[in-house]
Amino acid sequence: MVPDPLITRFAPSPTGHLHRGHAFSAVMGWAAARETAGQWLLRIEDIDAERVRPGHVEAIHADLAWLGLVPDGPVVTQSERLPLYDAALDRLKADRLVYPCGCTRADIAMAASAPHAGETVAYPGTCRGRSDVDLSAPHAWRLDLAATGLAMEQTWLDLAAGPKAGRADFGGDPVLARKDGAIAYHLACVLDDAAQSVTLVVRGEDLAEATPLHRLLQQLLGLAEPAYLHHALLRDASGNRLAKRAGAATLAVLRAAGEDGAALRRSLLRQSAPLLARAGIPISDSVKI
Ligand code: GLU
């Protein structure tokens, strides 16, 4: 069922320039909001200070303006919301649902059984239940999934694909705060989706693996559970996924070359309309212009 009101968000990370794939996601959420008299919000996910590049936040705003996409309501910037994330982490610490972990990547890779190339190595729980982790040395905080008492098999309604299920423990106990103190994407994302009253998360299917964990965190923290629409990723003519490093495809380059942003928006909207229609949001001609 299409949520009413439909409040969705575009949540880019300013770690690289936006490309057509990002624009596809943005246009899809924007059109869904326009069609239903809902809201399309913008959230800058700049929590990973090490990877944020100067000028990219400004470029995101310029790209969206060029496409003709105007966010409804104030822009949320994650780096301005650290106290909110820290307060949630402190509650989990007080409830003993997170534990300190001093493992390095190499420790984890060695402890886990040989992964195939490119596979995520699931954290084997080395520091769970240990009382000798050196708190004066850099340490991460991991969620003790078993201690939450919540189901690892999580379900959600995907407007595009129907009822979906997946495991929240796909990577073992997840890091909620990194060794360098940065809050993990998973925690910040669910807190912000709730704070922005998001009722529909529109994002690429590459992020669907994280959704069972997001469901679990929403239940753990008593947050409202939005619906989801994970869309297939836009591919280039040879079927390859558009990557950030494919410089020629960035919106900044198209913009600088004098291309028409409104024309790109209309073309992406035509591409996303069949999926939106399947999701129960047929796009009318007045939104397509
Ligand atoms: N910031 C994430 C990204 O740019 C998107 C997160 C989300 O939509 O949940 O990949």
1 within some domain:
no
This prediction's pTM = 0.94
Nearest atom in ligand 1 to the alpha carbon of residue 15 is 4
Mean per-residue pLDDT for 215-235?
95
Asked if residue 70 lies in contact with residue 38, where contact means CB atoms within 8 angstroms, the answer is no
Mean per-residue pLDDT for 139-159?
96
Answer whether 161 contacts ligand 1 (Cβ < 6 A). Answer: no
**pLDDT per residue over 240-285, tens digit each?**
777 655 556 799 999 999 999 999 999 999 999 999 999 999 999 9
Beta-strand ranges (E) seen in the chain are: 7-10, 39-44, 76-77, 98-101, 140-143, 153-158, 162-167, 175-177, 200-204, 227-231
253 within some domain:
yes
**Residue whose CA lies nearest to ligand 1 atom number 6:** 11
Q: Which of 17, 44, 46, 189 to probe ligand 1 with, by most ligand atoms within 8 A of CB?
A: 189
49 within some domain:
yes
34 within some domain:
yes
Answer whether 11 contacts ligand 1 (Cβ < 6 A). Answer: yes
The number of folded domains in the chain is 1
**Residue whose CA lies nearest to ligand 1 atom number 7:** 11
**CA 111, CA 122: separation in Å to the nearest integer?**
10
| Structural domain span for residue 151 | 7-288
**pLDDT per residue over 31-53, tens digit each?**
999 999 999 999 999 999 888 98
CATH number of the domain encompassing residue 210: 3.40.50.620
Q: Place 141 in a pLDDT band, splitting at 50, 70 and 90.
A: very high
2 within some domain:
no
**pLDDT per residue over 96-122, tens digit each?**
999 999 998 877 777 665 545 556 778
184 within some domain:
yes
Q: What distance separates the 2 farthest-apart alpha carbons in the chain? A: 63
Which tokens belong to 131?
């009382």
| pLDDT above 80: residue 140 | yes
pLDDT at position 248: 61
pLDDT at position 287: 87
| pLDDT above 90: residue 237 | no
